[in-house]
Chains A and B, each alone.
Chain A
Amino acid sequence: MNNEPRELRVIETDRQVCLARFSRCGNYLLTGGYDATIRRWDFSGEEPNEIAPLLGHRGWVQNFATLPDGETLVSADSWGGLCAWPVAGEKPQPKWKNDSAHDGWIRSLAASDDGQLIATAGRDKMVRVWSAADGKLLHEFAGHEHDIYSLGVHPGGKAVVSGDLMGNLKHWDLEADKLSREVRLEKMHFHDNIQDVGGLRILQFHDDGKTLLCAGNEPTKAGRSFGIPTLRQLDWDSLEEKKLHQFGPDKNGFIFDLHWHADGYFMIVTSGPPGAGMFLFQRPEQDEPFFTHTKLFNTHSLAPHPDGFRFVVAATNRQSQGNGAVLDKEGKYLGNSSPLHVFDLRPDAA
């Protein structure tokens, strides 16, 4: 990348967004949020145009994945619901739906590279693997003793990894249908008073499955949950750390989202105290990010467009923090929102 990303536009929202992703075809921007809704924007024209949302989830929609067929989206909610949808269409209805895929909050969802498998995990401490085609349960793994925060499916489709609040990482062998290996990343967890903080927030395979990326933070304080946004590269064969990346001071938050760009760098968004969130680009072999953007507020998700140039960062409105009631002119209590910032890596983007 020779040029800094140029901000093309901001899509204003009236709700908060946990996750933003483009459909595989690039025609739709999809977001999940705190309002049980998957919102859709048609991105095929010159201006993004919001179209009918996908309704039917409950609680938060914090996790979904688009499948390689280009047509299907599988989403999970915080009440244990799992659902497959067509991405397109005026008023899409679920292809299949399971309202009790987990007991409570599904904290992570990952799809296999071939789109055949969907792995889910949650507060019920269970890892489950489903058939993406019909929602049939294929595997079920128990063994975590704490909330599971993250999942990854190995590119070979034969292994699933799960990470929990305490920094425990478990490798589940899908062929043998059992736990294969486990390791604890102690620095990704911190106990203070009566609170456990941190945990493995993101697990992703990289480099054709040779590297496992473990992201979140190195927690330093409970309550406000301070920490250093942290990315650890583990060698998949040995599960030993190959490279450590840390971003910002010890009073920041977490790495909230992470993607690999084909030009050879990670695209990362982080959170922190007011004004401290950032998005940055980090080459895997280097110590420092080569690009850092700190002008957005508490960024929560980053969605790269399949064209390799455009991407969207879901941030937070200004002054999202504050004690007591924040009212509008009519006296209505105001919630926060997630402006969606559209960037382009091309120098001539307009």
Chain B
Amino acid sequence: MNTNRCKRWEHDISRRRVLGAMAGGAAGLALGGLGGMVQPAVAEELKKNDKQVLLIWLDGGMSQLESWDPKPNTQFGGPYRSIPTSVPGLHFSELLPRVAKLAHHLAIVRSMKTEDPNHSSGVPKILRGHPKNRGVTYPYFGSAVAKLLGPTDSGLPPYMWVKPGSGGFISKHAGFLGAKYGALALGGGKPPANLVRPESIAKEHDEARQELRERFNRRFADRRRQANSEAHSYVYDVAQTLMKHEDLFDEATLPEKDKDRYGRHDLGQHTLLARRLIEAGVRFVQVTSYGWDTHGDNFNAHASRVPKVDEAVSSLLEDLDQRGLMDRVLVIVMAEFGRTPRINGSVGRDHWPNAWSLAMGGCGVNHGLVVGETNADGSDVKTEPYDIGHMFHTWYRALGINSGHTEYMNGTQPLPIAHDDLGAVKELLS
């Protein structure tokens, strides 16, 4: 039995406390709208929280064997060597040389064991923390943190998503919390179109227009469901806030050296933008890199791809450390699963939820350690397996959110913010 996990009784106490706090439910309604609220006392406490999250999502599934959990010179180990890291005894794949030198900033979990081997169902399960099915759609992690911690004092949108392709406001991430907790997606790392006030509109005219819009919105909202009107109005507010921060998207203000360090590719430049967004005060930033589904030519694909993760993640860690942000920002690097140890006929690796790895660093988590272990050929977890629910508890606690005490209120329905049978991995928490 792994003693690093929270005990069930700890959660039971938390739950009783929360149910007691629900007596003040009416006040809660006033605080957060109809859907997905947090108890008021808890919400007030969380408002003071300055923690932030930067999630790097490698969509499709990076191979754990070509990154965090190499098995060199074994049947399934692939062609690459492992290299020592800055943490004695810890080795990464040779494809991660820069991150290896910064491993003392990271905690690696090598014993992830999740259920779903499919992209379409696995991605939302992982990003929602795969809680128990209670007949509601849980929010993605970004929406959850946006709800639980709210925007920072910057007033910037609490959940921004930097991704290749198209952008827009992605309300479906919010689940039952309601549309306004969705992600503002910056497609191609670009700000929403027409962000800048056209020169033909004077500043005072623009302000007058906004005031008029707000009056119309209020009148509109009086006759409609609050959540919908809130989301509608929120999008305009977001645009207004972003207009005040248009410098964030001005590449000319970025040093060329930084662009080089992060790598002149989507993942590098998007991670650099994410760092700027975090510095500016965005609560939760997700960077997505697509195309990791390497069923064919896995080893050449990872030779091309993983060094880009190496550039982006190492530069990010360096910068957060240099700026003193490690105590405030939780960094997570993960995907929906890993890749099979066995090598298929197309020299690829397939989907593998059975024994995969993820990395984290920054606020609230211990660093310079590896948690969990796979067996010699990487085909199974040798130690206590961890589900994504364990990680959600861990990350919430790292952010100062007591995942046992805190619950959403979906109308009158209390809902745990993470899987209520699981707990945080204490070894990971600082």
Q: Which residues of A contact B (CB under 8 A)?
A: 15-16, 34-36, 58-60, 62, 78-79, 104-105, 123, 147, 165, 192-197, 199, 222-226, 253-254, 271-274, 277, 297-298, 300, 315-317, 320-326, 333-336
- By the criterion CB–CB under 8 Å, are B293 and A60 in contact? no
Residues of A within 8 A of B346 (CB): 224-225, 253, 271-274, 298, 321
Cα–Cα distance between A323 and B265 once the two chains are bound (Å) = 30
- By the criterion CB–CB under 8 Å, are A223 and B60 in contact? yes
With A16-B343, A78-B79 known to touch, is A323 a contact of B303 (CB < 8 Å)? no
Cα–Cα distance between A15 and B293 once the two chains are bound (Å) = 24
Cα–Cα distance between A16 and B76 once the two chains are bound (Å) = 10
Residues of B within 8 A of A60 (CB): 78-79
- By the criterion CB–CB under 8 Å, are A335 and B75 in contact? yes
With A60-B79, A165-B304, A194-B308 known to touch, is A225 a contact of B351 (CB < 8 Å)? no
Residues of A within 8 A of B293 (CB): 223-224
- By the criterion CB–CB under 8 Å, are B301 and A222 in contact? yes
Q: Could you count the A-B residue pairs with CB atoms below 8 Å apart for me: how many are there?
A: 151
Residues of A within 8 A of B210 (CB): none
Residues of B within 8 A of A333 (CB): 341-342, 377, 379-380
- By the criterion CB–CB under 8 Å, are B72 and A274 in contact? no
Q: Which residue of B lies closest to A196 (CB)?
A: B304
- By the criterion CB–CB under 8 Å, are A225 and B301 in contact? yes
Judged by DSSP, the binding face of B is loop
Total chain B interface residues with beta-carbon distance under 8 A:
49
- By the criterion CB–CB under 8 Å, are B343 and A34 in contact? yes
Kindly supply a per-residue 1/0 record for chain B positions 45-85, scoring 1 wherever the CB is within 8 Å of any chain A CB and 0 otherwise: 00000000000000010000000000011011111110000
Residues of B within 8 A of A316 (CB): 344-345
Least CB distance from B405 to A in Å reads 36
Residues of B within 8 A of A317 (CB): 345
Residues of B within 8 A of A277 (CB): 345
B164 at the interface (CB under 8 A from A): yes
A selection of 16 A-B contacts at a CB cut-off of 8 Å is: A59-B80, A147-B303, A194-B291, A194-B304, A195-B304, A223-B291, A225-B296, A225-B348, A253-B296, A271-B296, A316-B344, A320-B344, A322-B340, A322-B350, A324-B351, A334-B342
Residues of A within 8 A of B60 (CB): 223
Cα–Cα distance between A1 and B410 once the two chains are bound (Å) = 75
Residues of B within 8 A of A273 (CB): 296, 346
Residues of B within 8 A of A197 (CB): 297, 300-301, 304
Cα–Cα distance between A45 and B183 once the two chains are bound (Å) = 69
- By the criterion CB–CB under 8 Å, are A193 and B266 in contact? yes
- By the criterion CB–CB under 8 Å, are A192 and B291 in contact? yes
Residues of B within 8 A of A58 (CB): 72-73
Sorted nearest first, the 4 A-B pairs with minimum C-beta distance are A298-B345, A316-B345, A78-B79, A225-B297
- By the criterion CB–CB under 8 Å, are A335 and B342 in contact? yes
Q: Which residue of B lies closest to A256 (CB)?
A: B347
> Quick one: which of B297, B351, B352 contacts A253, CB cutoff 8 A?
B297
Least CB distance from A155 to B in Å reads 29
B387 at the interface (CB under 8 A from A): no
- By the criterion CB–CB under 8 Å, are A78 and B300 in contact? no
- By the criterion CB–CB under 8 Å, are A321 and B345 in contact? yes
B190 at the interface (CB under 8 A from A): no
Residues of A within 8 A of B343 (CB): 16, 34, 335-336
> Quick one: which of B73, B295, B301, B380 contacts A195, CB cutoff 8 A?
B301
Cα–Cα distance between A315 and B347 once the two chains are bound (Å) = 12
B117 at the interface (CB under 8 A from A): yes
- By the criterion CB–CB under 8 Å, are B352 and A324 in contact? yes
Residues of A within 8 A of B297 (CB): 197, 224-225, 253-254
Cα–Cα distance between A224 and B94 once the two chains are bound (Å) = 22
- By the criterion CB–CB under 8 Å, are A104 and B291 in contact? no
Near A by CB (< 8 A), chain B positions 368-387 give 377, 379-380
Least CB distance from A153 to B in Å reads 23
Residues of B within 8 A of A320 (CB): 342, 344-345
With A36-B73, A194-B267, A336-B344 known to touch, is A105 a contact of B301 (CB < 8 Å)? no
Q: Which residue of A lies closest to B298 (CB)?
A: A225
- By the criterion CB–CB under 8 Å, are B295 and A79 in contact? no
Kindly supply a per-residue 1/0 record for chain B positions 289-321, scoring 1 wherever the CB is within 8 Å of any chain A CB and 0 otherwise: 111111111001101110010000000000000
Q: Which residue of A lies closest to B297 (CB)?
A: A225
Least CB distance from A107 to B in Å reads 9
Cα–Cα distance between A274 and B292 once the two chains are bound (Å) = 19
